[in-house]
Structure 1
C-alpha cells in the first residue's frame, strides 16, 4: 500500500496527533515502504537509505507500535553521545502517550537499575555493551532494539562494539538503520531481517567536482558546468551560495585546515542579519567551559557569519555554533569530518575540501577517505523546507584527478560492511564480555561468537587462542569461569589488554609518590587518550617530566611516538590536578578546551579502573594512590581540596578560593555562612551552604 496521509496509519489517534503536532501529515517513500514491509507488525528489518531520509521517524513508529501492543521495553542505540542526547530530546514527545523515556551513557561500572521504570531507553553502543555484562533485569526483559547508524560497524574503533551489541540484540525483535551499503542483503541475512533499501532523499542531491586550477571549474554529474571567478575555488563557490541565500558546510581534513579556511571565508563580505549576529556573538563571551583564546578567535569569525567546528572546542562553544547555524545566523561552518556523523546540520551546499587525511602509520602519512565517509559528508547537502536541491562538491587540484575522483566517490556505492572483530584486542574483549553475562558457559559463548559477522574460519582461529590467552592472563579459570580479576575487568569495561598492562606494571613496580608514572601507564593502554606530539615536543617531553615513568623509553619509532603521546597526556593531567589554570594548560600543550575535557573524562575512568584492578589484585599501596588520584582527576584539584569539593557547586576555582580564606571542609562552610556568601556572592553562597548541610548530614 502507498500511504499518503498519517491519518491512514493503523495506529492510535494519540500517535497520529503527536505526528501532526510536529507538522507531519504524510509519510515519505522510505517511511511508506517500511510500513508496507511490516514495520508496525514488528517485522525484523534492516533499513538502508541516505542521510536525512526520515529513518528516525521509522524507528519511532516501530518502537511505539511495539510498546502500545504490549511490548515490554524498547532500546534505541546510537554510536555517539551527541546523537543520544538529540534522540532523547526528540522521543520526549511520546510521553504524552504515557510512554516513559529514559537515557543513559557513560559510567560503565553500573547496571542503571533506575531504567527499569522506563519504557523507551536511549543509549550508546558502548554503554549497552557494558550493561549486558552487568545483566540488569530490565535489560534482560527488553524485547525490541533499534540499532542506529549500523554502518559504524566499519569504524576501526567502534565497529567491534557495534557488532558485539548486534550479536545480542538480534536475538530479539530488531530494527537496524544504516546509510546505504553495498552488501545490504548479506547484513540483512546475518540479522535475520528483511532489507528495505532505497536511495530516496527529501531534497535531491547534485554532486560535482570543483577543479581549483588556473581556471576554477565546477562540473556536476548531470553534465552541467560552471566557471567561477577568483583564485580560490572554495571561497568563490562559498560566496556564490551565500549570495543566493544558502548556507555552506566546508569539510577539511584537519583542525588547522578548518580554522585557516574559516579565517579566509571571513574575509568575504557575506550578507548577514547584523542584530542576530551581534546577539549570538555576545552570548559566546558568556560560555564558561572554553579557553579565552579560542573564544576570542571565534568571536571575530562569528561577527563575519563564519565559525569553525571540531572536537577541540568545548561543548558550550559547539552547541552555540550549531544553534547559530540552525537559525541561519551563521552562514558558513568549516569543520572536520566528525561533524558529518555527529550532528544533524543540513546546508544548501557541502564542500569536501580534502579527500586525503593524515595517517602516520602510512608511508607519506596520507590516505584517501572512504566512499562511506564521503557519502556521510555529502548527505548533509540540502535543507528540507529551504532548498529545492542540495549540492555537494569535491575540491581537486587539477583536471587529471577529477575523473578518477568522480568515478570513485560520486558514481560508486559505499564500501561493504565488514567485521572489525578480526584482531586480538577486539576479539578477546568480545569474548570477555560474553563470559561476563548472566548464565554464561563455554558452550553459550561459543554459540554466540559464531553469530558474529566475522568469517567462520577467522573466528575458529581466534576462538581457541582467545580462550588460552584469557586463562594464561588470569581472566578465566580452567573451567571457563571468570576470576575475581576477570569479573572486575569486565564490569569496569576496559579492554583486557589494558587490564593486562596495568596488572603487569603494578605487580612488578613499587608504589610512587609522584602521579606521573600512574598517569603515563594508564595513557599507554589501548583505552588511553591520544595526543598529537609535534617534533619539538618529541625532543622536550622527556626532559620536562618531574619524575620517571614505570615504563622504559622504547627504541622503535612507532612505539616511541605512543610512549611520548602517553607522556604528554600524563603531563597534561598532572598539571590539571595541580590546579594549573586551564588557559595555561591549553596554551602550553597546544590543545583545545574540548580536548582537555575529553582527556580528563577518559583519565577519570582509567584512574578509577586502575584503582579497581589494583584492589582486585590486592595491591593495596597502588590501590590507595590510584583511588586518591581518581578523586582528584575529575575536578582537577590538589589533595587538600578533596574534602571541600564533595559539596555540589564547588569546583577547582571556588574550592581554592574558599580554602585560601580558611574554609577547608564542609563543616567550615556551615560554621561561617556569612563568610561564604561574602566570598561567593549572596545567591551562590546560600546555595553552597545548603549543599554543605546535606553533605555534613550524610545525605551525600
Structure 2
C-alpha cells in the first residue's frame, strides 16, 4: 500500500506547513488514493474505508483546496452533535490560513444569519436540512459539502434527512465519507462521484468468535485458536486482554446488560483493579458532575476507581464525557456499552467483544432480531488503537460450534447490507417535499417531481409518492397554488419549525376541536406526535398510567395494541415532564420512572422543541385559548420550574434550584436581585451572588 510524503504532492506550501504542525509527514494509502482520484482538483468523491483510516484529513484537504482555489464557503456535515464538536476542533487548525470556522446544531427555528462571516461551517444533517428551509443568504454561497458518516443514509431514523441533504448537496460540489458501503458503485453513481474504496486500516483487524470448549473457552480466529480459562466468556477474554496490556470495549444489547456486565468484570479483576491515584481523580470527577443522578454517580464511582465503566444514552452528557476522556487517556481500561457508542465518538480499544448479536424488538414475535451486519462492522471497527496496538481483535460471543459457523458466515465473511433509500414512507417523504417547497419558495409540480426522481427510491415509487404527497399537503392546507406550489402561512411555519407535517396535523386536528385542558393533556398531545420522545413502558405501567391521568386527555385511548403502547409511552413522558415543571427533585424523577439522567435531558430537550412548536402552530391558527397555555408551558419545560419562577430563570446562571432558593427568601424578580445584592450573596455565595447580580442588572437594562 502506498504512503506518500506530503512534500511530493501538489499542495500549497501553506497547507504543507499546517500538516507538519499537526505531525503529518505522509499521507496513508486511503488519503493517497483520494488525492490520486482528484481530491485536490475538486473532483466529487465517495470515499469508503474502515473506521480510523484517516477520512477526516481527506475532508480537510478537500475543503481547504476548494476554498483556496474557488473561494465561497464549505460545510462539514455529521450525523451526531458529539461528532460535530470533534470535527470543529480539528478544522480550527486551518484558521491560520485566514478561514473562519463556525459550528451550529440544534435550534431549528433560526436562519443563523451570523454564519455569513464564516468560511467553514460544521453542523449536523438535521440542522443543515432546517437551514435550507429558512433560506439564509449565506447558504447560497456554500458550494462544497462534506457528507460524513454517509452510511447513515441506511438508518431508519436519520436516513431520510441524510438523503434530503444529499439531494441538494449534489447539485453543488461534494465529498462523501463512509465506512464500508457494499453497493458503493450505485451510491457513487447516484452522487455523480468517483468511488474511492479500500479495506486498508492503520491497525489490522482480526475477527473471530468465543465459544465454550470442554474445559475452557476457545477464541477462534481464522488463523489461530486461543484457549482461555474462566466461568464467563466475556470476563475471561477481558482479563486475558488486560493481562496483555490492552484496553477492551464490550458491547451488550441493553443498558441493564451493560451495567451488570461492567459490575461482574469489576468484581472479577482482583489485583488488576486496585485503585490508583489517577482513577481516584476520575472517580472524584464522577462524584462532582452536576447533570447526573446520585445513584448513577455512586454506581459509576465504584466501577471507575477499579478501571471499569458502563456507557449508554441513559447517562448524562457530563458522565459520558468523563468516561470517554479517561478511556482515551488509558486510565479506564474497560467500557461496557450499548451499540450507540460504536456509531458516535472515536474510542478505539485493543479488543472489542460483541456480547450479543441479537437485540430486542417489541414488534417481532419473540422480541429478538439479529443485528444488521453494518452494526456489527461499526462495533468491530473500534478494535485497534493506532500507535498502541499492532493489531485489533473483534470477537462475537456464541453458544456453540454450529452458531460459530453461522456467525462467521454472516458477520465476518459477508459485506454489510446494501444502502437503500429510507424515504419510502409517507411521513418521511411528505416532510421531504415540504422542505423542498420551503427552500425553493415556489416551485412547479414538474420541478418538484424532478427532486423526487433524484432520490434513491425506485422511480415508480417516487412518482406515486410525489403525486399523493402534493394532494395530501394541499388537502391539509400546507400548500396552495396550481401552476406553482407555495407554502401557506401555516405550511411555512411548520417547515421553519422543522417538525414533521404529520406532527403539525396532530396539533391542528386536536387543538381546533378541543377546549382548554390541564398541563398533562397538552404534554400528552405533544408527546404523542410522530416527533415525540418515546420511553419504555412496563406491564404494570400499561395498566396504571391511564388511570392516573388527572384530567381528560385530548386523544382517546386507541384499541390497537401497538398504538396503545405508544399512547401510554406518551402519557409517561407527559408525567415525567409534569414532575419536572413542578420542580420535583431530579433523583426522585429518575427513580419514579426508571430512567437515566441522559434520558431525562433528551426528553426535556425534545419536549422543549415540541411545546414551542405546538405554541407556534396554535398561534398561526389563531387558537388563543391554547397558545397562551402552550407558551407558558414551553417556558416552564425549558427550565423545569413552576410559573412563579419564570422571571428569575431569565437571569443567566439562575437555574431551577437557585431560583427556588431566591424566591423562598422573598427575591422574586430580577429587580429584587439588584436591590438585595448582599442577601443574594449570602444565599448563593459571594462569587456566584455577585455574578448573578451583574446578570440581573444586564437583563433589566436590556429590557428597558
TM-score of the two chains, using structure 2 as the length reference: 0.98
Matching residue of 1:495 = 500
Which residue in 2 is equivalent to 1:419? Answer: 421
User: 2-side partners of 1:9 and 1:510: how far apart?
Assistant: 70
- Asked if the contact 1:3–1:27 (Cα under 8 Å) also holds between the matched residues in 2, the reply is yes
The 8 Å contact of residues 208 and 218 in structure 1, kept in 2 or not, is answered as no
Distance of 2:2 and 2:382 partners within structure 1: 27
Q: Secondary structure at the match of 1:266?
A: helix
CA distance in structure 2 between the partners assigned to 1:18 and 1:264 by the alignment: 47
Structure 2 residue 480 is the aligned partner of structure 1 residue 477: yes
1:191 maps to what in 2?
Answer: 191
Residue by residue, what CA displacement relative to the aligned partner does 1:64-117 show, whole Å, maximum 9, x if unpaired? 111111320000000011110111111111111111100000000100000111
Choose from 318, 321, 343 the match for 2:320. Answer: 318
Cα deviation for residue 221 of structure 1 reads 4.0
State the alpha-carbon separation in 2 of the partners of residues 16 and 216 from structure 1: 54
2-side partners of 1:20 and 1:216: how far apart? 50
Instruction: Kindly state the Cα deviation for residue 10 of structure 1 after the two structures are TM-superposed.
Output: 2.0
Report the CA distance between 1:273 and its aligned residue: 7.0
In structure 1, what is the Cα distance between the partners aligned to 2:101 and 2:350?
A: 33
List aligned pairs for 1:100-139, cutoff 5 A. Answer: 100-139=100-139
Matches within 5 A, 1:258-657: 258-267=258-267, 268-269=269-270, 270=272, 274-442=276-444, 443-479=446-482, 480-512=485-517, 514-657=518-661
Q: CA deviation at 1:271?
A: 5.0
Q: Look up the match of 1:209.
A: 209
Deviations 1:501-552 (A, max 9, x none): 111010111012x210111011101100000001121122122222221111
1:694–1:59 distance in 2 versus 1, CA, 3 Å: same
- My pick for the range that moved more, 64-73 or 149-158, is 64-73
Q: Deviations over 1:37-88 (max 9, x none)?
A: 0000000000001111100000000001111113200000000111101111
- Taking the aligned partners of 2:684 and 2:2, their CA distance within structure 1 comes to 63
Stretches of 4+ aligned residues off by more than 3 angstroms: 212-221
Match of 2:85 in 1: 85
Residue 702 of structure 2 aligns to a residue in which SS? coil
Equivalent pairs counted in the alignment come to 699
Q: Could you say what secondary structure the match of 1:143 adopts?
A: strand
Q: Residues of 1 paired with 2:642 and 2:177: CA distance?
A: 46
1:375 deviation in Å? 0.4
CA distance in 1 between partners of 2:213 and 2:338 (Å): 24
Q: What does residue 58 of structure 1 align with? A: 58
User: Are 1:32 and 2:32 counterparts?
Assistant: yes
Q: C-alpha separation between the residues in 1 aligned to 2:248 and 2:86? A: 22
Give the Cα–Cα distance (whole angstroms) in 1 for the partners of residues 85 and 662 of structure 2.
35
2:26 counterpart SS class: coil
Would you say the 8 A contact 1:601–1:634 is kept in 2? yes
Q: Which residue does 1:675 correspond to in 2? A: 679
Rounded to whole Å, the distance in 1 between the matches of 2:114 and 2:630 is: 29
Q: What are the superposed Cα offsets for residues 395-444 of structure 1, whole Å, 9 maximum, x if unpaired? A: 01122211011100000001110000000000000011111013430233
**TM-score in terms of structure 1 length:** 0.98
Q: Which residue of structure 1 lines up, in the alignment, with residue 238 of structure 2?
A: 238
1:227–1:579 Cα change, 3 Å: same
8 Å Cα contact 2:219-2:228 kept in structure 1: no
Structure 2 residues not aligned, in runs of 5+: none
The separation in 1 between residues aligned to 2:354 and 2:418, in whole angstroms, is 22
Q: How many Å separate the matches in 1 of 2:552 and 2:703? A: 42
TM-superposition CA deviations, 1:308-340 (whole Å, max 9, x none) = 000000000000000110011100000000000
- State the alpha-carbon separation in 2 of the partners of residues 7 and 592 from structure 1: 51
Q: Measure the CA separation in 2 of the matches of 1:303 and 1:3.
A: 42
Helix, strand or coil at the partner of 2:480: coil
Please tell me whether the aligned partners of residues 210 and 393 of structure 1 are also in contact (alpha carbons under 8 angstroms). Answer: yes
Superposed CA deviations along residues 436-462 of structure 1, whole A, max 9, x for unmatched, are 013430233221111111110110111
Measured in 1, the distance between the counterparts of 2:22 and 2:296 equals: 37
Q: Which residue of 1 aligns with 2:158?
A: 158
1:699 Cα deviation (Å)?
Answer: 5.7
Q: 1:210 touches 1:233 (CA, 8 Å); kept in 2?
A: yes
- 1:603 is paired with a residue whose SS is helix
Contact persistence 2:143–2:173 (CA under 8 A): yes
> Which structure 1 residue ranges, 5 or more long, are not aligned?
none
- Please say if residues 309 and 335 of structure 2, whose CA atoms lie closer than 8 Å, have aligned partners that are also in contact: yes
1:209/1:647 CA distance change after superposition, 3 Å: same
- Quote the offset at 1:219 in angstroms: 4.3
Query: After the TM superposition, which of the residue ranges 683-692 and 223-232 deviates more from structure 2?
Result: 223-232
1:290-323 CA distance string (max 9 Å, x none): 0000000000000111000000000000000001
| TM-fit CA distance, 1:646 | 0.8
> Are the equivalent residues in 2 in contact too, given 1:476–1:482 (CA < 8 A)?
yes
Contact 2:533–2:573 (8 Å) recurs in 1? yes
Q: 2:449 touches 2:463 (CA, 8 Å); kept in 1? A: no
What is the DSSP-based 3-state SS (H/G/I as helix, E as strand, rest coil) of the residue aligned with 2:226?
strand
